[in-house]
Structure 1
Amino acid sequence: MKGMIIGPYWQGFKRSVVTYTRIPLKVDWDDNIKHIPAVCFLPWIGLVVGLLSAWPLWFDWSASLQALLMLLTAVLLTGGFHEDGLMDSCDGLVGGWDKEQRLAIMKDSRIGSYAALSIWFSLSLKWALLSELLNIIPSSFLGFIYTLSGWCAVHVIARFIPIVLMNTLAYVSMGQSKASSMIAKLEPSQWLLALLPCVLIGVLAFSLLDMIMMFIFTALLLFLMRLYLRKKISGFNGDTLGASEQIGEIFVITCLLVSYS
């Protein structure tokens, strides 16, 4: 009985790990196997990525080097999955003149000027913000706990944003897309599963008031994202979900910096 309850969650989590990271796991993709939709575990995958990429915090290195290695490790763990979406989205959404052209550009594997600019500014911003955050946090056990929980919060909360977008916008694409098989409209219990790590890690990383303010501004950010995507392509696709996650990371690091300051 216990296995019948836990089994679908474990299957969904493994599928999520294989889909959203480069961590090797053996997964049976048979549709007849009961599983919770993999996308429900996206914030949990953020927790895994955050914990594994935080290893530089154990060493007495400069904040800038720690930040660089943390970012590099996170990219290696995910294979640049979300960064690729950011680059494709910027090329298409900014460079295209209409919906069809924007979607066509996003399907093109070549990198344009907007993609190059977006990834440079995105990584530079994250490195600068994270370095500043590491610099102002005192070197102590509590400081370590705050930094670790804050870094995990960045990856957890940022990965909740794409879930909201895919459940509140229409899916659009040109031709076949790998992302279409991962799109899922969540049930109430699945929403709780996705939201749980955001709250648990948020409590550790923020004060109660700051966490409430952060979630309010996250809702505002989501509102603006939805307006922009509706205007540009009348919905979302896999690339824009990746882009929203990257914007979310920058946003949460900024919130942490403001909260601690």
Structure 2
Amino acid sequence: MKGVIVGPYWQGFKRSLVTYTRIPLKVDWSEDIKHTPAVCFLPWIGVVVALLSAWPLWFDWSASLQALLMLLTAVLVTGGFHEDGLMDSCDGLVGGWDKEQRLAIMKDSRIGSYAALAIWFSLTLKWLLLTELLEAIPSSFLGFMYTLSAWCFVHILARVLPLVLMRRMTYVTAGKSKAASMIASLNLQQWAIALAPCLVFGVLAFNLFNLLLTVFFAAMLVFFIGLYLRKKLSGFNGDTLGASEQIGEVFVIVCLLVSYS
């Protein structure tokens, strides 16, 4: 009986882990296997990525080196999955003249000038902001636990943003897309699974007032991202979901830095 209840969640988590990271794990993709939609575990994948990439915090290194290695490890664990979406989105959304051309550019594997600029500014911003945050937190056990919780929250809330976009907008694509099979409309129970880590790590990283403010501004951010995507694409695709996650990471680190200082 326990296996019947837990099984679908475990299958969904494994599918999510294999899809959104480079962690080698054998998964049976047969449709007849009952599973919870993999996308509802996306914030939980954020916890995994954050914990694996937090190893530099154990060493007494400079904040800038710790931040650089944390970001590098996160990219290696995910295979640059979301960074690739950011680059493709910037090339397509900025470089294309109409919806069809924008979608076609996103399908092109070549990197354009907008993609290069976007990834440079994104990674540089995250490195500088994370360095500032690490330098501001005192070197102690409590400081370590706070930093770990904050780093987890960065990767959790940033992955909630794409889920909200999926819920509010229409999926669009040019031709076949790998992301299409992962798009799902979550029910109330599945939303509870997705938001659970956000609540747990949110109260560890913020006081209640700052947490509510962060959630409010995150909702505003998603709203404006949605407006922009409706104007450019009349919907979203896999690349723009990845771009929203990267924007979310920068946003949450800024909120943590402002809250802590």
* Equivalence for 1:125: 125
Q: State the SS of the aligned residue for 2:67.
A: helix
Structure 1: which amino acid aligns with 2:122? S
* Equivalence for 1:147: 147
Structure 2: which amino acid aligns with 1:76? L
* Equivalence for 1:89: 89
Q: Tell me the CA shift for residue 91 of structure 1.
A: 0.2
Structure 1: which amino acid aligns with 2:220? L
Alpha-carbon distance in structure 1 between the residues aligned to 2:97 and 2:162: 24
Q: Structure 1 vs Structure 2: percent identity of aligned residues?
A: 77
Q: Tell me the CA shift for residue 90 of structure 1.
A: 0.1
Structure 2: which amino acid aligns with 1:118? A
Structure 2: which amino acid aligns with 1:136? A
For residues 57-94 of structure 1, give each alpha carbon's deviation from its aligned partner in whole angstroms, at most 9, with x where no partner exists.
Answer: 00000000000000000000000000000000000000
Structure 1 residues 116-195: aligned runs within 5 Å: 116-195=116-195
* Equivalence for 1:61: 61
May I ask how many residue pairs the two structures share in their alignment?
261
Alpha-carbon distance in structure 2 between the residues aligned to 1:223 and 1:27: 35
For residues 30-77 of structure 1, give each alpha carbon's deviation from its aligned partner in whole angstroms, at most 9, with x where no partner exists.
Answer: 000000000000000000000010000000000000000000000000
Does residue 113 of structure 2 align to residue 113 of structure 1?
Answer: yes
Q: State the SS of the aligned residue for 1:110.
A: coil
* Equivalence for 2:237: 237
Q: State the SS of the aligned residue for 1:226.
A: helix
Does residue 184 of structure 2 align to residue 208 of structure 1?
Answer: no
* Equivalence for 2:104: 104
For residues 14-42 of structure 1, give each alpha carbon's deviation from its aligned partner in whole angstroms, at most 9, with x where no partner exists.
Answer: 00000000001110000000000000000
Structure 1: which amino acid aligns with 2:78? T
Q: State the SS of the aligned residue for 1:159.
A: helix
Q: State the SS of the aligned residue for 1:23.
A: coil
Alignment gaps of 5+ in structure 1: none
Q: Tell me the CA shift for residue 218 of structure 1.
A: 0.4
- Which ranges of 4 or more aligned residues in structure 1 deviate by more than 2 Å? none
Q: Tell me the CA shift for residue 167 of structure 1.
A: 1.2
Q: State the SS of the aligned residue for 2:114.
A: helix
Structure 1: which amino acid aligns with 2:45? I
* Equivalence for 1:17: 17
Q: Tell me the CA shift for residue 153 of structure 1.
A: 0.4
Q: State the SS of the aligned residue for 2:235.
A: coil
Structure 2: which amino acid aligns with 1:238? G
Alpha-carbon distance in structure 2 between the residues aligned to 1:167 and 1:108: 27
Q: Tell me the CA shift for residue 254 of structure 1.
A: 0.3
> CA RMSD for the aligned pairs?
0.4
Does residue 218 of structure 2 align to residue 218 of structure 1?
Answer: yes
* Equivalence for 2:251: 251
Q: Tell me the CA shift for residue 171 of structure 1.
A: 0.3
* Equivalence for 1:51: 51
Q: State the SS of the aligned residue for 2:173.
A: coil
TM-score w.r.t. length of structure 2: 1.00
Alignment gaps of 5+ in structure 2: none
* Equivalence for 2:34: 34
